[in-house]
Chain A
Amino acid sequence: MGPDGQLTTSLPIPAHPRLGIRVAYRLQRVLRPRPGLRRLSARIEASALGRPLFTGVERQAKETLFGCRMCGQCALPATGYVCPMGCPKELRNGPCGGVGADGGCEVYPDKRCVWVEAYERAASQGRAADLRLLHRPADHRRWGESSWLNYWQGRDEGLWTTVAGDTGDEGPARHHDRVRESS
């Protein structure tokens, strides 16, 4: 169960996004974090009724559009708006080596590999470089949370990075501020 009382245990199955990539990137620009959205999301989060309601609406919308499974730490902006949590291996740095010659998923050959689709969609808009970003390990305490609220509150910053090069000393974890918060 997530914090808002909804099941978060659906199986990862590749989903084809129903939102066109151009519209998705346009929405990304409109909805990026800013003071107004930050204040609004803080108020929603503080509300005993507003938060589960908002989370429920987000779940419905993202499930329909992207096959979202509510991992609570949305990678869509960096994956051509194809959900990587629909990958049966839940790869956040895919694709794996088992993709079929036709671009089919190793586990569900009749479905297209989400990472093949992510690459094609991002590349079609000049955003192929997004796929080179390194995604940090998921924080599994966040399943079921609203990732929009997390995003606007700035808690999603650093979900992915470019700075892990050979000499980079930045570690892969980012959630330890949360550990300290809660301990």
Chain B
Amino acid sequence: MSLRERLAAGGFAVTAEISPPRGAAIGPVTETAALLRDWVDAVNVTDNQGSNVRLASWAGSLAALAAGLEPVMQMTCRDRNRIALQSDLLGASALGIRNVLVMTGDHPKFGDHPEAKPVFDLDSVQLLWTLRHMRDQGALLSGRPLNPPPDCFLGAVENPFAPPAGFRAERLGKKVDAGAQFVQTQFVFDVTVFARWMAQVRDLGLPERCAILAGVGAVRSRRGLDFIRDKVPGVEVPDDVYRRLRAVPADQTAAEGARLAAETVQQLTQIEGVAGVHLLVAGNEQAVPGILDGAGVRADRDGR
């Protein structure tokens, strides 16, 4: 069952994330895909995450597909203009990559080439709109016809925790208007704030038009915790979460992080309108089975 089908059927979907290697080999992607295949519906393949050069998202997506795991190809607006982005969608669709996740992207300043020219020719809303237009109207931005048009399932991201709090649900509304069919959120550490955002999302009628997957991270080490708190733009780690993960001995941070993630997933399943979770576990994929078991969501999964 594909991600699109599972969401259409109203099942609880699980996605995870693969960070492609910094190198010209596909092995690491294939190995991770094999590990995750039996646990998740689809896996995001990041697009030069954090503005650091990695193997291309489309190539990683193809490798995941070959390894029997459905990819979600991430596409940022940071490095390519509207010509390249449209061309990439055609290539991805032609080669069987259906899920595309559109985001603005981190600024180059934060990566390994801070001197690079930031492109940002389109923003994420405009890119979603463009891709939907290509699929539904069979035409490029220029108006030229596509034969045949691409087939794609369009995703977006949203950060429920960043200011302005009063506008974050509306902003998802803009993305849904532009074409988003599913959304993955930034890390949910504060379930109360997330639930408040979800209430606004429901008031706007968005869960009927767009599947909402809540982002859940599994902290692996104290260093990772500090990195998420201090270095990931737009992420806040609440004090009680930070204290809880610091309270255990350093060699048990990973276990406690997985327990916290499982509890969070479990709480999220209780929130009306949440269609699934997106596990932000790149580099820590072996934690996935434990998190899903701990949260008791595996029971929902048919035949696996």
Contact = CB atoms under 8 A, between A and B. Distances in A.
Interface of A: 88-103, 106-107, 113, 115-116, 119-120, 123, 128, 131-132, 134-138, 140, 164-166, 168-169, 171-173, 176, 179
Interface string B233-256: 110100000000000000000000
Contacts of A135: 125-126
B130 A172 contact: yes
Interface stretch (B7-15, B132-140, B287-295): B132-140
B126 A92 contact: yes
Contacts of B233: 97-98, 100, 106
Given A96-B234, A116-B164, A119-B164, 7 more contacts: A113-B163, A132-B170, A135-B126, A137-B126, A169-B136, A171-B141, A172-B141
A120 B164 CA distance: 8
Q: Chain B contact residues (Cβ within 8 angstroms of A): what range?
A: 35 or more
A88 B163 contact: no
A137 B209 contact: no
B169 to A, nearest CB: 11
Given A137-B82, A164-B178, A176-B143, A106 B107 contact: yes
A131 B126 contact: no
A176 B173 CA distance: 27
A97 B157 contact: yes
Nearest to A123: B166
Contacts of B124: 93, 96
Contacts of B170: 128, 131-132
A122 B13 CA distance: 37
Interface stretch (B37-45, B114-122, B261-269): B114-122
B121 A137 contact: yes
B209 A166 contact: yes
A119 B124 CA distance: 18
Interface of B: 77-78, 82, 103-107, 109, 118, 120-126, 129-130, 133, 136-137, 139, 141-143, 157-159, 161-164, 166-167, 170-171, 173-174, 176-178, 186, 209, 233-234, 236
A100 B235 CA distance: 8
B122 A103 contact: no
B158 A134 contact: no
> 9 tightest A-B contacts by CB?
A98-B233, A97-B159, A93-B125, A172-B129, A99-B162, A98-B234, A119-B164, A106-B233, A91-B123
Contact residues of A: prevailing secondary structure: loop
A166 B174 CA distance: 11
Given A93-B123, A137-B126, A173 B143 contact: yes
A131 B170 CA distance: 8
A177 to B, nearest CB: 11
15 contacts: A89-B105, A89-B118, A91-B123, A92-B126, A96-B104, A97-B162, A101-B161, A103-B164, A107-B107, A113-B163, A119-B164, A164-B178, A166-B209, A172-B130, A172-B133
B126 A93 contact: yes
Identify the interface centre among B120, B136, B158: most chain A CB within 10 Å of its CB: B120
B167 A164 contact: no
Contacts of A100: 162-163, 233-234
Contacts of A136: 126
B82 A103 contact: no
A119 to B, nearest CB: 4
A140 B25 CA distance: 38
B29 to A, nearest CB: 25
Contacts of A116: 163-164
Contacts of A94: 123
Nearest to A117: B164
A134 B125 contact: yes
Contacts of A134: 125, 129, 174, 177-178
A169 B139 CA distance: 11
A97 to B, nearest CB: 3
Contacts of B164: 95, 103, 115-116, 119-120
A89 B120 contact: yes
Contacts of B105: 89
B133 A97 contact: no
Contacts of B107: 88-89, 98, 106-107
B163 A164 contact: no
